Amino acid sequence: MTTALSAPAALRARAARLDADDPMAPLRARFLLPPDVVHLDGNSLGPLPAAVPAALDDVVRRQWGTGLIGSWNANGWWEAPLRVGDAIGTLIGAAPGQTVAGDSTSVQLFTALDAAAALRPDRPLLVTDPGHFPTDRYLADAVARRRDLEVRRVEPADLPRFLAAEGHRVAVVSYSPVDFRTGELYDMRALTGAAHDAGALALWDLCHAAGALPLDVDAIGVDLAVGCGYKFLSGGPGAPAFLYVARCHHAVLETPLPGWTGHADPFGLAQEYTPAPGIARARIGTPPVLSLLALEAALTAFDGVDLADVRAKSLSLTGFLLDCADALLTPLGFTSVTPADPARRGSQVTLRHPHARGLVVALAERGVIADMRAPDLLRFGVNALFTTHRDLLTAALRLRDLTRDAAYDPAPPAAGPVT
């Protein structure tokens, strides 16, 4: 005998079953999530990992307070940018010695773009995504002006065709595997291959991918990559970013920012800059140790975690949210801009609604944290380490209720500069 369930009841039963069968459920305890909050903004700022407060307290009170300057050696501060870089490397498919952490994504991007252009000095084009995150576009423009290059903005879907025609003039292509607005996932392997077929370099911004899905930068042959520490890596507000440079480029890598910590003999006080061997030459100045070691502690949330499992759960979560949206929100005027095809989906779902801002504000007041991107996109990030299917149904139901009841301000005042 079957019972006809209402859509919410059927979704609730499905969520309960999926969550009960989830082998990753215990990982949620690795995060200190506030009670009664559904946190769907881990693609913007990850929540506090449980390991961080005690680790940071140790850094502050024992390492800094008691160890003082000696902690640069005794507590491994000096090596931290390379050690944290290697820890991130394990999450992006990079063998040790190719990844460094310490500066902001924007600074690392500048370094990567400039260094990549220097590796292809006779090619006049820098190709990037017209829909790339603003800082990627602005820094591409800045590097191009400085190096007398021309920026071409080419949609990811058009990139192979563009490279087939103009690739011999392209120095570097700079893209993200995940569109930060729609969550669309592009084929890194194919696009990297197309760049290489043209003799160009491939630079990837992994901000919305690192920690969210398996990446394989070494195997794919990625030349350079950057990414931030505070989204899916949950390293804390403004956590240092990382820079990956494939080993084959190290010997000739020229950084535009030859700070003292990247010197071969940083305490030799030499007149001339001699770059350190390997990825250490991409170090710049003294890194923000407190933020860097908080990120290092945060990364322990991935201990023993297989990113293939993360990916499988993430797709289950985003697929479930798309089903919730289809059943509960489409009738109220929402449309999804995230691909239904799992192979083309990152770890977020984005819905379009003309009152996106007011709805996100009202959702937050009801304990569901999402975010919006102007003018009309609501973004729901899922981090498989702590998100449940039940979380997503809760979000969809609350969004349905407040839309149906018009229980939101259609033109809310700006809460502040961050929207």
Which of 11-19, 67-75, 119-127, 162-170 is the region at the interface with a second copy (rule: CB under 8 A)? 67-75
Q: Which is nearer to a second copy, 78 or 326 (CB)?
A: 78
Q: Please give the residues from 166 up to 225 whose contact with a second copy meets the rule CB under 8 A.
A: none
Assess contact for 201 and 224: CB atoms under 8 A.
yes
Determine if 237 is a binding residue for a second copy (CB under 8 A): yes
164: tokens are 């087939």
313: tokens are 């759960």
Q: Which amino acid is at 4?
A: A
Determine if 395 is a binding residue for a second copy (CB under 8 A): no
Q: Please give the residues from 248 up to 307 whose contact with a second copy meets the rule CB under 8 A.
A: 256-261, 263, 266-273, 284-292, 294
Which of 198-206, 234-242, 314-322, 398-406 is the region at the interface with a second copy (rule: CB under 8 A)? 234-242
Min dist. Cβ of residue 227 to a second copy (A): 12
Nearest alpha carbon to residue 318 among 165, 212, 164, 170? 212
Q: Which is nearer to a second copy, 195 or 363 (CB)?
A: 363
Determine if 410 is a binding residue for a second copy (CB under 8 A): no
Q: Taking the C-alpha atoms of 98, 101, 106 and 108 in order, what is their torsion angle to the nearest 10 degrees?
A: -30
Q: Please give the residues from 325 up to 354 whose contact with a second copy meets the rule CB under 8 A.
A: none
Min dist. Cβ of residue 52 to a second copy (A): 6
Determine if 2 is a binding residue for a second copy (CB under 8 A): no
Number of residues that bind a second copy (CB under 8 A): 88
Catalytic residues: 133, 205, 230-231, 379
Determine if 74 is a binding residue for a second copy (CB under 8 A): yes
Q: Please give the residues from 114 up to 153 whose contact with a second copy meets the rule CB under 8 A.
A: 130, 133-135, 137-139, 141-142, 146
Which of 59-67, 217-225, 314-322, 346-354 is the region at the interface with a second copy (rule: CB under 8 A)? 59-67
Q: Which of 22, 103, 184, 323 binds a second copy (CB under 8 A)?
A: 103
Determine if 364 is a binding residue for a second copy (CB under 8 A): yes
Nearest alpha carbon to residue 172 among 148, 188, 196, 156? 196
Determine if 41 is a binding residue for a second copy (CB under 8 A): yes
For CA atoms 29, 33, 39, 41, give the dihedral sign. negative
In 10 A of CB 63, how many CB atoms? 20
* Beta-sheet strands, E only, within 307-401: 335-336, 348-352, 368-369, 371-373, 377-381
Min dist. Cβ of residue 221 to a second copy (A): 27
Which of 55-63, 185-193, 198-206, 335-343 is the region at the interface with a second copy (rule: CB under 8 A)? 55-63
Q: How far, in Å, CA of 417 to CA of 358, rounded?
A: 15
* Beta-sheet strands, E only, within 183-282: 201-205, 224-227, 242-245
| Sheet with strand 335-336: strands edge to edge | 335-336, 348-352, 377-381, 371-373
Query: E strand or H helix at 39, and its extent?
Result: strand 38-39
Ramachandran bin of 98, using left for φ above 0, alpha for ψ from -120 to 50, beta for the remaining angles:
alpha
Q: Which is nearer to a second copy, 31 or 244 (CB)?
A: 31
Q: Which amino acid is at 94?
A: A
Min dist. Cβ of residue 349 to a second copy (A): 17
Q: Which is nearer to a second copy, 153 or 161 (CB)?
A: 153
Determine if 415 is a binding residue for a second copy (CB under 8 A): yes
